[in-house]
Amino acid sequence: MIVKALKGFKDILPDEANLWQDVERVARQIFHRFGYREIRVPILEKTGLFARSIGETTDIVEKEMYSFTDRNGDSLTMRPEGTAPVLRAFIEHNLQAERPVQKLYTMGPMFRHERPQKGRLRQFHQMSVEAIGADQPEIDAEIMAMASMVISELGLDVSLEINSLGCPKCRPAFNQALLDFLAENAGSLCPDCERRRYKNPLRVLDCKNKTCQARYVNAPSIQAHLCPECAAHFQAVESYLKALDIRYKVNPFMVRGLDYYTRTTFELLTNALGAQSAVGAGGRYDGLIEQLGGPALPGIGFAMGLERLTLLLAAQQRKSSQRIDIFIAALGGAALERGVLLAHALRQRGVAVVMDYAGRSLKSQMKQAARHDSRFTLIIGENELAGGQAVMRDMESHEQVDVILSEDLATWSTALAKKILA
Ligand code: HAM
């Protein structure tokens, strides 16, 4: 019997992986433009890190974590998201001492035991960004501008929804209003909501149950309960978004699936992926670093899902921009030998070269060149070689030119590399 990959765990095959690399490259360039630097953190962490940050009553912690006890008896969890590990590293390495605002990003796999469907996996990948140490509304607008820039430079079209979840000062009054509303609806809520409404009332608004969702349309809005400071912060974020010409919509019912958020939250949404509408999401988490035992510093961040971004690109029939520069089709023993040396010299000069060593027919090698999406093919036949020449074919225009195969490989390959990379 063939062993297959686990349900919700997906192989990313080469054609797809090239597209992933394109997305990662665009994102890295833009993160750099905004002053973010990469941090790489482990996949395994102590379970307590996630329970303390994401929240004990969230779906992620209650139902979705890949947790196990290791050989030492420690409870470990495969990270379900990137924020908590990055903040753990920030605190552990005292990164606040380095600069007043630390801008960090990380990329890699995350794990949640969800019901797999299109765009929803159990191992999925995020590009996760955090700005630690600034609470000004400018940084909120800047981080949303950065997320929008990634989307627009990828040529995608998604909408931005924003909200404010207030702060520990205004949350209690909102919680009370929500509790009153839930009490009026008692008996008609799902068991999860019935249980959570006492422990963490805000959490019920994230319930996926259709009946509950229909009830919560009439729930009180947090926007109406913001304290003056939070309202002013949100207003400033909005006016910066307008000034930066970033289109957005306020969604007063957006609560997010993680407990650590305060003030600004946002989601990048599409309707091209069925039920999985968020290609990215994030928000501010001003109390979290302290809650994890670190200094009292504010923070804001977001993460984008690579599966969802690449699905959107594939739906637009977008192919990776990564191509082979030249395929060397050598016909016959002497040509093959010459081709091997030339391929190596070209690769040393930055050219991507593929060749076939099996002596297949010209037709077969031309097919391979096309499959590699090669820009050029260099055909070295016995006769051409004897005459000190080869034929270079432009695979798009089908134009063919004779090129001289001089004895001086270094000079020759430098000239050819220049021509190919031009
Ligand atoms: P999140 O909303 O849980 O936030 O996830 C962010 C993004 O990861 C989602 O918008 C989606 O694109 C992708 N994603 C989440 N779950 C899955 C899944 N099962 N399959 C495929 N893609 C998925 C966070 O994780 C926060 N840590 C974001 C953040 C960073 N907030 C502040 N800083």
pLDDT tens across 52-74, in order? 999 998 999 999 999 999 999 99
Query: What's the rounded Cα separation, in Å, for the pair 233 and 252?
Result: 15
Name which residue sits closest to atom 20 of ligand 1, judged by CA. 120
Cα 411 to ligand 1 centre (Å): 52
Q: Which pLDDT score, from 0 to 100, does residue 396 have? A: 93
CA 359 to ligand 1 centroid distance, Å: 49
- DSSP reduced 3-state for 311: helix
Q: Are strands 102-111 and 37-38 parallel, antiparallel or unpaired?
A: parallel
Answer yes or no: are the C-beta atoms of 256 and 265 closer than 8 Å.
yes
Q: Which strand (E) or helix (H) includes residue 368?
A: helix 362-371
Burial (CB count within 10 angstroms: exposed 0-12, middle 13-18, buried 19+), residue 284: buried
Q: For the chain, what percent of residues have pLDDT higher than 90?
A: 80
Atom of ligand 1 nearest to the CA of 122: 19
Nearest CA to ligand 1 atom 1: 281
Indicate which residue's Cα is closest to atom 11 of ligand 1. 305
Q: Which atom of ligand 1 is nearest to the CA of 268?
A: 10
Max CA-CA distance within the chain? 92
Looking at domain 326-421, which CATH architecture does it have? 3-Layer(aba) Sandwich (3.40)
Domain boundaries defined on the chain: 14-170+226-315, 326-421
How many Å separate Cα 350 from the centre of its chain?
Answer: 28
Q: Can you tell me which residue has the tokens 């999860």?
A: 192
Atom of ligand 1 nearest to the CA of 285: 32
Does residue 282's CB lie within 6 angstroms of at least one atom of ligand 1? yes
pLDDT category of residue 267 using cuts at 50, 70 and 90: very high
CATH superfamily label, 14-170+226-315: Bira Bifunctional Protein; Domain 2 (3.30.930.10)
Residue 363 in 3-state DSSP? helix
| Cα 224 from Cα 93, distance rounded (Å) | 40
Which pLDDT belongs to residue 187?
83
> Residue 151: its pLDDT value, please?
97
C-alpha of residue 122 to centroid of ligand 1, in Å: 12
CB 164 within 8 A of CB 226: yes
| Cβ of residue 395 lying under 6 Å from some atom of ligand 1 | no
Q: Give the closest residue (by CA) to ligand 1 atom 25.
A: 81
Q: How far, in Å, is the centroid of ligand 1 from the Cα of 196?
A: 22
Q: What is the C-alpha to C-alpha distance for residues 410 and 422, in angstroms, rounded to an integer?
A: 18
Confidence of residue 250 (pLDDT cuts 50, 70, 90): very high
The secondary structure of 214-245, three-state, reads HHHCCCCCHHHHCCHHHHHHHHHHHHHHHHCC
Contact 387, 338 (CB under 8 A): no
Give the mean pLDDT of 196-208: 86
Ligand 1, atom nearest to 112 Cα: 19
Q: Which of 247, 260, 255, 340 is nearest to 294 (CA)?
A: 260
Residue 122 has pLDDT above 90, yes or no: yes
Total Cβ atoms within 10 A of residue 82:
24
For ligand 1, is residue 112 a contact (CB within 6 Å)?
Answer: yes
> Residue 148: which pLDDT band, with cuts at 50, 70 and 90?
very high
Q: Whose CA is nearest to atom 29 of ligand 1?
A: 302
In terms of Cβ atoms closer than 10 Å to its own Cβ (0-12, 13-18, 19+), residue 107 is buried
Residue 146 predicted with pLDDT over 80: yes
| CB distance 229 to 169 below 8 Å | yes
pLDDT of residue 319: 77
| Number of Cβ atoms within 10 Å of the Cβ of 287 | 17
The C-alpha atoms of residue 212 and residue 336 are separated, in whole angstroms, by 70
326-421 matches 14-170+226-315 in CATH topology: no
- 222-251: b or e for each residue (b if 16 or more CB lie within 10 Å)? bbebbbeebbebbeebbebbeeeebebeeb
Site to substitute for ligand 1 among 124, 265, 309, most atoms within 8 A of C-beta: 124
Write down the pTM of the prediction.
0.93
